[in-house]
Structure 1
Amino acid sequence: MPESEHPSTFKAPQKWFVGDVWVDKVLNDENMTFGNVTFTPCARTNWHTHEGGQILRVLAGSGWVCDRGGEPQRLRAGDMVWCPPGTTHWHGAANGSFMTHLAISIGGTEWLEAVDDQLYSSKG
Protein backbone atom coordinates (compact mmCIF):
# COMPACT_ATOMS: atom_id res chain seq x y z
CA MET A 1 0.00 0.00 0.00
CA PRO A 2 1.49 3.42 -0.88
CA GLU A 3 2.44 5.65 2.06
CA SER A 4 -0.30 8.13 1.13
CA GLU A 5 -2.92 5.40 1.63
CA HIS A 6 -1.80 4.45 5.15
CA PRO A 7 -3.96 5.92 7.92
CA SER A 8 -2.15 8.70 9.76
CA THR A 9 -3.62 7.58 13.11
CA PHE A 10 -3.37 3.94 14.14
CA LYS A 11 -3.26 1.69 17.18
CA ALA A 12 0.35 0.92 18.11
CA PRO A 13 1.49 -2.70 17.69
CA GLN A 14 0.99 -4.75 20.87
CA LYS A 15 4.36 -6.43 20.32
CA TRP A 16 6.07 -3.11 21.23
CA PHE A 17 3.68 -1.68 23.85
CA VAL A 18 1.83 -2.69 27.02
CA GLY A 19 -1.75 -1.36 27.09
CA ASP A 20 -3.59 0.76 24.53
CA VAL A 21 -1.46 3.27 22.66
CA TRP A 22 -2.38 5.34 19.61
CA VAL A 23 0.03 6.95 17.16
CA ASP A 24 -0.69 9.94 14.95
CA LYS A 25 2.12 9.84 12.40
CA VAL A 26 3.48 13.22 11.32
CA LEU A 27 6.62 12.15 9.40
CA ASN A 28 8.17 8.78 8.67
CA ASP A 29 11.27 8.43 6.55
CA GLU A 30 14.35 6.22 6.66
CA ASN A 31 16.26 8.52 9.04
CA MET A 32 13.65 10.06 11.32
CA THR A 33 10.09 9.66 12.54
CA PHE A 34 7.84 12.26 14.17
CA GLY A 35 4.59 11.21 15.80
CA ASN A 36 2.13 12.21 18.48
CA VAL A 37 1.73 9.19 20.73
CA THR A 38 -1.21 8.87 23.13
CA PHE A 39 -0.99 6.38 26.00
CA THR A 40 -4.01 5.31 28.03
CA PRO A 41 -3.48 5.13 31.83
CA CYS A 42 -0.59 2.73 32.68
CA ALA A 43 0.15 2.04 28.99
CA ARG A 44 3.83 2.13 28.10
CA THR A 45 6.47 1.20 25.58
CA ASN A 46 8.61 -1.90 25.82
CA TRP A 47 12.27 -1.34 26.60
CA HIS A 48 13.87 0.00 23.43
CA THR A 49 16.81 1.95 22.00
CA HIS A 50 17.16 4.46 19.18
CA GLU A 51 20.16 4.45 16.91
CA GLY A 52 20.39 8.25 16.82
CA GLY A 53 18.47 9.09 20.00
CA GLN A 54 14.96 10.29 20.72
CA ILE A 55 13.35 13.56 21.81
CA LEU A 56 10.07 13.43 23.76
CA ARG A 57 7.92 16.54 24.30
CA VAL A 58 4.95 15.91 26.62
CA LEU A 59 1.87 17.65 25.22
CA ALA A 60 -0.80 16.52 27.71
CA GLY A 61 -1.22 14.42 30.82
CA SER A 62 1.48 12.84 32.93
CA GLY A 63 3.68 9.79 32.79
CA TRP A 64 7.12 8.31 33.27
CA VAL A 65 10.41 7.79 31.46
CA CYS A 66 13.13 5.44 32.66
CA ASP A 67 16.60 4.45 31.47
CA ARG A 68 17.64 0.86 32.14
CA GLY A 69 19.33 0.75 35.54
CA GLY A 70 17.98 4.18 36.49
CA GLU A 71 15.06 5.50 38.49
CA PRO A 72 11.82 6.39 36.67
CA GLN A 73 11.39 10.15 36.17
CA ARG A 74 7.95 11.81 36.30
CA LEU A 75 6.80 13.53 33.11
CA ARG A 76 4.24 16.34 32.95
CA ALA A 77 2.81 18.47 30.14
CA GLY A 78 5.53 20.79 28.84
CA ASP A 79 8.45 18.53 29.77
CA MET A 80 11.06 17.66 27.17
CA VAL A 81 13.37 14.65 27.39
CA TRP A 82 16.47 13.66 25.41
CA CYS A 83 17.16 9.92 25.22
CA PRO A 84 20.76 9.67 23.90
CA PRO A 85 21.68 7.26 21.08
CA GLY A 86 21.80 3.66 22.24
CA THR A 87 20.21 4.34 25.64
CA THR A 88 17.77 1.56 26.57
CA HIS A 89 14.63 3.13 28.03
CA TRP A 90 10.84 3.04 28.28
CA HIS A 91 8.14 5.71 28.63
CA GLY A 92 4.41 5.77 29.18
CA ALA A 93 1.40 7.16 31.03
CA ALA A 94 0.96 7.41 34.77
CA ASN A 95 -1.72 5.45 36.61
CA GLY A 96 -4.93 7.48 36.32
CA SER A 97 -3.74 9.74 33.47
CA PHE A 98 -3.57 9.68 29.73
CA MET A 99 -0.35 11.06 28.27
CA THR A 100 0.34 12.40 24.81
CA HIS A 101 3.85 13.20 23.68
CA LEU A 102 5.51 14.18 20.46
CA ALA A 103 8.21 11.57 19.81
CA ILE A 104 11.05 12.43 17.44
CA SER A 105 13.10 9.30 16.81
CA ILE A 106 16.38 9.42 14.91
CA GLY A 107 17.59 6.36 13.01
CA GLY A 108 16.37 2.82 13.64
CA THR A 109 14.64 1.54 16.77
CA GLU A 110 15.49 -1.75 18.44
CA TRP A 111 12.50 -3.10 20.39
CA LEU A 112 13.18 -5.28 23.42
CA GLU A 113 11.15 -6.98 26.16
CA ALA A 114 8.02 -5.57 27.79
CA VAL A 115 8.15 -3.54 31.00
CA ASP A 116 6.19 -5.86 33.27
CA ASP A 117 3.50 -4.71 35.70
CA GLN A 118 5.70 -5.37 38.75
CA LEU A 119 8.52 -3.13 37.48
CA TYR A 120 6.07 -0.46 36.29
CA SER A 121 4.22 -0.34 39.63
CA SER A 122 7.49 -0.14 41.64
CA LYS A 123 8.33 3.39 40.43
CA GLY A 124 8.41 6.43 42.72
Structure 2
Amino acid sequence: MIIEPTQPTGKNPREMFAGDVWLDVIAAPHEVGQRMTVATVRFAPGARTAWHSHARGQYLRVTQGVARFGHRDGTIIDVHPGQTLYTPPGEDHWHAAAPGCFMEHIAMLEAGDDPATTTTWKEHITDDEYAGRSVDG
Protein backbone atom coordinates (compact mmCIF):
# COMPACT_ATOMS: atom_id res chain seq x y z
CA MET A 1 0.00 0.00 0.00
CA ILE A 2 1.09 3.55 -0.61
CA ILE A 3 -0.26 6.98 0.21
CA GLU A 4 -0.46 8.93 -3.01
CA PRO A 5 1.74 12.03 -3.09
CA THR A 6 -0.13 15.31 -3.18
CA GLN A 7 0.09 17.00 -6.55
CA PRO A 8 -0.41 20.72 -7.10
CA THR A 9 -3.74 21.91 -8.47
CA GLY A 10 -3.52 22.42 -12.22
CA LYS A 11 -5.34 24.97 -14.33
CA ASN A 12 -6.89 23.46 -17.42
CA PRO A 13 -5.68 24.77 -20.81
CA ARG A 14 -7.55 27.37 -22.86
CA GLU A 15 -7.45 25.11 -25.93
CA MET A 16 -9.91 22.79 -24.19
CA PHE A 17 -11.70 25.02 -21.66
CA ALA A 18 -13.31 28.46 -21.58
CA GLY A 19 -13.22 30.32 -18.27
CA ASP A 20 -11.38 29.22 -15.15
CA VAL A 21 -11.25 25.46 -14.50
CA TRP A 22 -8.96 23.72 -11.98
CA LEU A 23 -8.06 20.03 -11.69
CA ASP A 24 -6.79 17.91 -8.80
CA VAL A 25 -5.79 14.33 -9.66
CA ILE A 26 -7.13 11.80 -7.16
CA ALA A 27 -5.90 8.62 -8.84
CA ALA A 28 -3.93 7.76 -11.98
CA PRO A 29 -2.56 4.49 -13.35
CA HIS A 30 0.65 3.19 -11.77
CA GLU A 31 1.10 -0.16 -13.44
CA VAL A 32 0.69 -1.81 -16.83
CA GLY A 33 -2.95 -2.71 -17.41
CA GLN A 34 -4.36 -0.01 -15.15
CA ARG A 35 -6.64 2.44 -16.97
CA MET A 36 -8.63 4.43 -14.38
CA THR A 37 -8.09 8.14 -13.79
CA VAL A 38 -10.10 10.06 -11.18
CA ALA A 39 -9.94 13.82 -10.63
CA THR A 40 -11.79 16.60 -8.88
CA VAL A 41 -12.55 19.39 -11.34
CA ARG A 42 -13.73 22.86 -10.27
CA PHE A 43 -15.41 25.30 -12.65
CA ALA A 44 -15.93 29.03 -12.06
CA PRO A 45 -19.44 30.29 -12.91
CA GLY A 46 -20.06 29.86 -16.64
CA ALA A 47 -16.75 28.08 -17.25
CA ARG A 48 -16.98 25.16 -19.65
CA THR A 49 -15.20 22.50 -21.63
CA ALA A 50 -14.96 22.40 -25.40
CA TRP A 51 -16.87 19.67 -27.22
CA HIS A 52 -15.20 16.31 -26.62
CA SER A 53 -15.72 12.57 -26.35
CA HIS A 54 -14.07 9.72 -24.44
CA ALA A 55 -12.93 6.40 -25.91
CA ARG A 56 -14.35 4.41 -22.97
CA GLY A 57 -16.99 6.82 -21.68
CA GLN A 58 -16.92 8.93 -18.53
CA TYR A 59 -18.68 9.22 -15.18
CA LEU A 60 -19.08 12.65 -13.57
CA ARG A 61 -20.29 12.91 -9.96
CA VAL A 62 -21.41 16.44 -9.08
CA THR A 63 -20.31 17.37 -5.57
CA GLN A 64 -21.04 21.13 -5.41
CA GLY A 65 -23.01 23.69 -7.38
CA VAL A 66 -24.99 22.94 -10.51
CA ALA A 67 -23.39 21.27 -13.53
CA ARG A 68 -24.65 21.81 -17.04
CA PHE A 69 -24.09 19.15 -19.71
CA GLY A 70 -24.76 19.52 -23.42
CA HIS A 71 -25.28 17.01 -26.22
CA ARG A 72 -24.92 17.54 -30.00
CA ASP A 73 -28.70 17.28 -30.43
CA GLY A 74 -29.08 20.48 -28.36
CA THR A 75 -30.22 18.75 -25.17
CA ILE A 76 -28.95 20.40 -21.99
CA ILE A 77 -29.13 18.64 -18.63
CA ASP A 78 -28.58 20.34 -15.27
CA VAL A 79 -27.13 17.96 -12.68
CA HIS A 80 -27.12 18.61 -8.93
CA PRO A 81 -24.88 17.54 -6.04
CA GLY A 82 -25.15 13.82 -5.37
CA GLN A 83 -26.12 12.98 -8.95
CA THR A 84 -23.84 11.13 -11.38
CA LEU A 85 -23.92 11.58 -15.14
CA TYR A 86 -22.63 8.85 -17.45
CA THR A 87 -21.52 9.68 -20.99
CA PRO A 88 -21.12 6.60 -23.25
CA PRO A 89 -17.98 5.95 -25.32
CA GLY A 90 -17.63 8.24 -28.34
CA GLU A 91 -20.55 10.53 -27.42
CA ASP A 92 -19.81 14.22 -28.09
CA HIS A 93 -20.65 16.39 -25.09
CA TRP A 94 -19.55 19.35 -22.98
CA HIS A 95 -19.78 20.16 -19.29
CA ALA A 96 -19.86 23.45 -17.45
CA ALA A 97 -20.84 25.31 -14.34
CA ALA A 98 -24.36 26.69 -14.59
CA PRO A 99 -24.59 30.49 -14.74
CA GLY A 100 -24.02 32.26 -11.44
CA CYS A 101 -22.47 29.42 -9.43
CA PHE A 102 -19.25 27.51 -9.01
CA MET A 103 -19.43 23.79 -9.75
CA GLU A 104 -17.30 20.84 -8.74
CA HIS A 105 -17.44 17.30 -10.04
CA ILE A 106 -15.40 14.14 -9.72
CA ALA A 107 -14.43 12.85 -13.16
CA MET A 108 -13.84 9.12 -13.63
CA LEU A 109 -12.65 7.62 -16.88
CA GLU A 110 -10.55 4.83 -18.30
CA ALA A 111 -7.71 5.34 -20.77
CA GLY A 112 -8.24 4.21 -24.34
CA ASP A 113 -6.19 1.40 -25.86
CA ASP A 114 -3.93 4.20 -27.10
CA PRO A 115 -3.79 6.70 -24.20
CA ALA A 116 -3.65 9.54 -26.74
CA THR A 117 -7.22 8.64 -27.76
CA THR A 118 -8.67 8.67 -24.22
CA THR A 119 -10.26 12.08 -24.83
CA THR A 120 -10.83 13.56 -28.28
CA TRP A 121 -11.06 17.35 -28.04
CA LYS A 122 -13.06 19.34 -30.58
CA GLU A 123 -14.25 22.92 -31.08
CA HIS A 124 -15.29 25.29 -28.29
CA ILE A 125 -18.99 25.56 -27.59
CA THR A 126 -20.76 28.80 -28.42
CA ASP A 127 -22.59 31.03 -25.96
CA ASP A 128 -25.84 29.97 -27.68
CA GLU A 129 -25.03 26.27 -27.15
CA TYR A 130 -24.23 26.94 -23.48
CA ALA A 131 -27.50 28.84 -23.04
CA GLY A 132 -29.54 26.20 -24.88
CA ARG A 133 -30.59 28.59 -27.64
CA SER A 134 -31.08 27.13 -31.08
CA VAL A 135 -28.65 28.48 -33.65
CA ASP A 136 -31.48 28.24 -36.21
CA GLY A 137 -33.62 30.83 -34.48
Q: TM-score, normalised by structure 1?
A: 0.88
Task: Map 1:8-47; keep pairs closer than 5 Å.
Answer: 8-29=8-29, 31-47=35-51
**Greater strand share, 1 or 2?**
1
Task: Map 1:67-86; keep pairs closer than 5 Å.
Answer: 67-86=71-90
Q: Which runs of 4+ in 1 moved over 3 A?
A: 4-8
Q: Which has the higher contact order (CA 8 A, sep 6+)?
A: 1
Whole-angstrom CA distance in 1 between matches of 2:67 and 2:125 = 14
Q: 3-state DSSP class of the match of 1:77?
A: coil
Q: Identify unmatched segments of 5+ residues in structure 1.
A: none
Shift of 1:68: 1.4
CA contact (8 A) 1:45 1:90 kept: yes
Structure with max Cα Rg: 2
Residue deviations 1:43-83 (CA, integer Å, cap 9, x gap): 01111000000000000000211221141001111110110
Q: Identify unmatched segments of 5+ residues in structure 2.
A: 112-117
Of 63-72 and 84-93, the range deviating more from structure 2:
63-72
Q: Please, what is the CA RMSD of the aligned residues?
A: 1.8
Of the three residues 62, 65, 68, the one matched with 1:61 is 65
Of 67-76 and 93-102, the range deviating more from structure 2:
67-76
